[in-house]
Amino acid sequence: MDLANNRDASGNYIFSGFKTDTPAFDEDGVYQGSTNADHVRRLTVADGTGMQVSHLGRDIFGDIFTVLEDAVAALTADPGDADYDANLEAALSAAMVEVDEGINRLGKAQAELGTNLQQLDALDLSGDVLINDTIVKVQNAIGSDTSKLVTLVSESQMSELAFNASMFVYKKMQSMNLFNMSPS
């Protein structure tokens, strides 16, 4: 139960969907997190690429807690009861099926996480390639000579200053008319 009600570094319940302040399961093993399948947390990891970053507790754990509680109840029941053997067999059989299904659900979630990690690694690699390509293009455009870079920056600032001065003169000329052109 502790694993199912685990929290992340921010204190949010991991398996509760958007109900991050509510434990995924209560003391009886009943799921109380988000019930809508669309309420899993997703993040955009690149342009046009989204990734599911959480799973709902009911999708991972299913009814395993209630089924195990039923098995415990069947094991602790009075052996003298007429239906003891049938109830015990049914409860243990249901528990085995639910545990097997739980293992399958966990395997699917782990496979999805592995795929997401591979996708993040690929995005990281393509980002590194893009950065290196940009550096090469800049070096090819201006050269790796720092004095040339300083010259280009200086020329750019001079051009900006000249542009601002011409805009100032243009605005002044635009506001002139015959009445304010007379010499003072």
DSSP string computed for 76-139: TS-TTSTTHHHHHHHHHHHHHHHHHHHHHHHHHHHHHHHHHHHHHHHHHHHHHHHHHHHHHHHH
Phi, psi for 25 (deg, rounded to 5) = -130, 145
Residues paired with residue 52 on neighbouring β-strands, in sequence order: 42
Cα-to-chain-centroid distance, residue 104: 24
The total number of residues written for the chain in this structure:
184
41 alpha carbon, distance to own chain's centre: 7
User: What is the pLDDT tens value at each position of the chain, 184 positions in all?
Assistant: 888 898 988 998 989 988 989 999 998 888 998 888 788 888 888 888 888 888 899 999 998 999 999 999 999 999 988 999 999 999 999 999 999 999 999 999 999 989 988 988 888 888 889 898 888 887 777 766 777 778 878 988 998 988 888 877 767 766 655 555 445 5
Compute the CA torsion angle 81, 82, 86, 90 (nearest 10 deg): -40
- Output the pTM of the full model: 0.63
CA gap 87, 85 in Å, rounded: 6
Main-chain phi, psi angles of 45, to 5 degrees: -105, -15
